[in-house]
Chains A and B, each alone.
Chain A
Amino acid sequence: MATTLLLKHIAVPGIKSLDVYRNMGGYASVEKALRTLTPNQVTEEVKKSGLRGRGGAGFPTGMKWGFLAKPEGVPRYLVCNADESEPGTFKDRYLMEHIPHALIEGMITSSYALGARKSYIYIRGEYFYVSRILQHAIDEAYAAGWLGENILGSGFSHDCYVQVGAGAYICGEETALLESLEGKRGNPRIKPPFPAVAGLWGCPTVVNNVETIAAVCPIITMGGEAYSKIGIGKSTGTKLISASGHINKPGVYEIELGLPVEEFIFSDAYCGGIRNGRKLKAVVAGGSSVPILPAELILKTAQGEPRLMSYESLAEGGFQTGTMLGSGGFIVMDDQTSIVKNLLTFARFYHHESCGQCSPCREGTGWMEKLISKFLSGTAHESDVDLLWDIQSKIEGKTICPLGEAAAWPVAAAIRHFKSEFLELARNKSYVEINHYKRLQPVS
């Protein structure tokens, strides 16, 4: 259960540089693809691998590539979504910061498969220093002939550019990202048309997450078939998990899909258990938008089966008793955590990040934040829980883009599993903010 593909060489000194990366077997996928495979064969390998989008939605990557329209004489683009902004998620930053060439290599191989002459990496503005690391890697790749004209004498030419954003979570939504890349406000587009038909500057475009594109390298190198044997069922391969919150060892871990959640939280190879000897209360398993689960449901499904880190197992039981793998933003909370206050930080986040185009999200996200605040300021009534439930249900599914769901799901899940905490605050007006900083200082 300890297969690592993306972070295999993370500990090698100098892995950031092209020379060391190359010595460790880097750019093998470009060599293999350009020398021995046709673009369609590369796509076929990705389809065989069962790779699913690592940005959160989990859509099969090969199928997404297959949708790309290929009209004659129209350029096609590959765009990398490096706008990682889902609270709890920092794996793309870690990968780009430490092994930037993994992404550049993936960009070249994927672009070859898609027939894209140019590709863009759209990275969130706050990650500016990471964009510099990427640019340096791109410069190195040009100098060594991995980018530019006629790569490896194959006739395939490719240019890769980095563009920074400027602070907007919504630009992680692929059509908002394209708008932003075009120098506009990050307002999601109304679909259809989908980017595969009319994306960047109206041309056919594939938008993939950083980790998805990086995963193409091992897939091509080892073959799609071999990759599909890693993991469990339809959750093939490995996944980067960003672990944070009240755990002993926060950080990014590459896991083979199918690892038991309990092992991930408590094993010293991963999170290393709950900090300061406290008990596990709840987990947000896949970034802020996925439903929060209480300890008993995250460790075991409603049927009593051990819960595994996979798309299917985490979703087992639907939203009644399950959640989603999402982007792999794994936030762990101990028994002293207020679920309502944590929810407020999410609600505030979505209110702050709503683009304001469509009315349910524009008006609803702010309303939810204000209502949740009432519970913490001691002004809420018990009936406010029902009102909150009703508002989230009227946002979910009614919006242009998935930010509506992302804002509604955490509210729904918090009420579903922790309703008593809301009622308790409404009845006793008892919320007291604890000093987390002092509380978490190591016991000496």
Chain B
Amino acid sequence: MKVTIDGISLDVPQGTTILQAARMIGPEVAPPTMCYYSKLKTSGGYCRTCIVKVTKGSNQNPNPIPKPVASCRTEVLDGMEVQNVTSSEVLEARKGVVEFLLINHPLDCPVCDQAGECHLQDLGYGHGAASSRYEFKRREYEMIDIGPHIKLHMNRCILCYRCVKTAEQITNGRVHGVMHRGDAAEISTYIEQALENDFSGNVIDVCPVGALTDKTYRFKQRVWFTKPMDAHRNCKTCSGQVRLWLKGEQVVRVTRAKMPGMKWSPLFAIHADLIIKKHRIGLLKVPLKFNGIRLYHKTITST
């Protein structure tokens, strides 16, 4: 199928979304995303950051789509023509979306552990305005623990649903979800249950902002003062693909190593880039030169 994005054409297989096609072309035309996560089923569509304009629907039906569409949830049709950065309308709309995402955000980046690897920070930097027009009191929630190792800072949440879908799709007993509605909607556990199973730590990794943070790492170190190193650990339950974050010779944080791989599901956990709690917590105590870890990547110097 042929699709043209910002004047650049390419052929893509059926079922490719506009976003995937744009990413194939390259970062210069790929729209930014916040809520879309490629490994999840039915992910995306909520934040509206990736909206683009379809100026020609397809060869069969060349009419434009009247409203901007979420590129992450819209499949390419043969002959489709799309405008992203070449449309001032799209850029203006995106600016609006960034503003909406930020009006109730606490902007507490100086004390946020996500700073330096926060998608919202990047989005605001790239597409936002220098000052806010919002003059009202921001929405506030108390910070809570939603499990022994996870801190929920609801003030920072942009309701991307990524953690909910992750829990739904890779574990059997989801205990957290989106409660209430409208601008009172919030991520919460059912009553006082805790997210506590082998895979629950992965919700931290999928959170695009600082809403879910790793309690073992909170206020330990700024991200940009640590160096990532990918490593592999033999494991029967998960992929064992870990990323160790080093401060000198000390492991200060463990996340999963991002790998291009297949979609997540409980069946394929072992193949996907998911890691279990044992590694996330356990490796913090393991000295770097321990034999149980096989280093198979060189140190990555930039994140």
Binding site for B on A (CB under 8 A): 168, 185, 190, 351-360, 362-367, 370, 387, 393-395, 397-400
**B185 contacts A356, C-beta separation under 8 Å:** yes
Name 16 interchain pairs, CB-CB below 8 A, sorted by A. A185-B178, A190-B70, A353-B182, A356-B180, A357-B159, A358-B47, A359-B158, A360-B100, A366-B182, A366-B183, A370-B136, A387-B133, A398-B48, A400-B45, A400-B46, A400-B48
B45 with A362: CB separation less than 8 A: no
Instruction: Write the B241-270 contact mask toward A (1 if CB under 8 angstroms, else 0).
Output: 000000000000000000000000000000
Chain B residues whose C-beta falls within 8 Å of the C-beta of A356 in the assembled complex = 159, 178, 180-185
A359 near B46: Cβ-Cβ < 8 Å: yes
Whether A394 lies near B182 (C-beta < 8 A) is no
Which DSSP category, helix, strand, loop or mixed, fits chain A's interface? helix
Q: Which partner residue on chain A sits nearest B89 by CB separation?
A: A397
Could you tell me which B residues sit within 8 Å of A by CB distance?
A: 45-48, 51, 66-68, 70, 73, 93, 96-97, 99-101, 103-104, 133-134, 136, 158-159, 178, 180-185
Q: Which residue of A lies closest to B184 (CB)?
A: A356
- CB–CB A362/B183 < 8 A: yes
- A379 to chain B minimum Cβ distance, whole angstroms, is 10
| Interface contact A354-B181, CB-CB below 8 Å | yes
**Taking CB as reference atom, which chain B residue is nearest A396?**
B67
Query: Which of A360, A363, A365, A366 counts the most B-chain CB atoms under 10 A from its CB?
Result: A363
**A185 to B101 CA separation, bound complex (whole angstroms):** 22
Q: Flag if B181 contacts A398 (CB, 8 Å).
A: no
Pair A394/B181 contact, Cβ less than 8 Å: no
- List the 9 shortest-distance A-B pairs measured between CB atoms, nearest first: A394-B96, A356-B185, A363-B100, A354-B182, A190-B45, A397-B67, A356-B182, A366-B183, A359-B100
Min C-beta distance of B52 to chain A, whole Å = 12
A396 to chain B, nearest CB (A): 9
Find chain A residues with CB under 8 A from B45 CB.
190, 358, 400
Q: Is the CB of B51 within 8 A of A398?
A: yes
Contacts of A394 in B (CB 8 A): 93, 96-97, 99-100
Contact call B103/A363, Cβ cutoff below 8 A: yes
Contacts of A365 in B (CB 8 A): 182-183
A111, chain B: closest CB distance, angstroms:
30
Nearest CB in chain A to that of B72: its residue = A190
Given contacts A397-B67, A400-B45, contact A359 B182 (CB under 8 A): no
A350 to B178, CA, bound (A): 20
Closest Cβ–Cβ distance, residue A154 to chain B (whole Å): 39
Does the CB pair A398–B93 fall under 8 Å? yes
CB pair A362 B185 closer than 8 Å: yes
Contact B48 A190 (CB under 8 A): no
Closest to B47 in A: A359
A351 to B158, CA, bound (A): 17
A355 touches B182 (CB 8 A): yes
Q: In the bound complex, do residue B181 and residue A185 qualify as a contact, i.e. CB atoms below 8 Å apart?
A: yes
Contacting residue for B183 out of A363, A387, A395, A397, CB 8 A:
A363
Whether A363 contacts B104 by the Cβ 8 Å rule is yes
Chain B residues whose CB sits within 8 angstroms of the CB of A393 once the complex forms: 96
Contact A358 B48, CB 8 Å, known A363-B100, A363-B104, A394-B100: yes
Tell me the complex Cα distance, A400–B178, Å: 17
Contact A398 B96 (CB under 8 A): yes
Q: Cα distance A359–B100 when bound, in Å?
A: 6
Residues of chain A with a CB closer than 8 A to B133's CB: 387
Separation in Å of the A356 CB from the closest CB of chain B?
A: 4
Instruction: Tell me the bound Cα distance from A374 to B178 in angstroms.
Output: 31
> Beyond A351-B182, A356-B183, is A362–B159 a contact (Cβ under 8 Å)?
yes
Distance to closest chain B CB from A392 (angstroms): 10
Q: How far is the CB of B163 from chain A (nearest CB, A)?
A: 15
Residues of chain A within 8 A (CB-CB) of B100 are: 359-360, 362-364, 367, 394
A413 to B300, CA, bound (A): 55
Residues of A within 8 A of B47 (CB): 358-359
Closest Cβ–Cβ distance, residue B185 to chain A (whole Å): 4
Residues of A within 8 A of B67 (CB): 397-398
Check A351 against B48 for contact (C-beta < 8 Å): no
CA distance A352 to B182 in the complex (A): 7
In the complex, besides A185-B181, A359-B46, A363-B100, 7 extra interface pairs with C-beta distance below 8 angstroms are: A355-B185, A358-B45, A360-B100, A366-B183, A370-B136, A397-B68, A398-B68
A4 CB, nearest partner CB in chain B, Å:
36
Residues in A whose Cβ lies below 8 Å from that of B70 = 190, 400
- Cβ–Cβ < 8 Å partners of B103 in chain A: 363, 367
Q: Which residues of B contact A358 (CB under 8 A)?
A: 45-48
Which residue from chain B places its CB closest to the CB of A402 in the assembled complex? B67
Chain A residue nearest to B181 (CB atoms) is: A356
Q: Is the CB of B73 within 8 A of A190?
A: yes
Nearest chain A CB to B38 CB, angstrom units: 16
For B101, the closest partner residue in chain A by CB is A359
Chain A residues lying within 8 Å of B184, measured Cβ to Cβ, are: 356
Q: Closest Cβ of chain B: how far from A374's Cβ, in Å?
A: 9
Contact B97 A360 (CB under 8 A): yes
Q: List the B side residues contacting A363 at CB < 8 Å.
A: 100-101, 103-104, 183
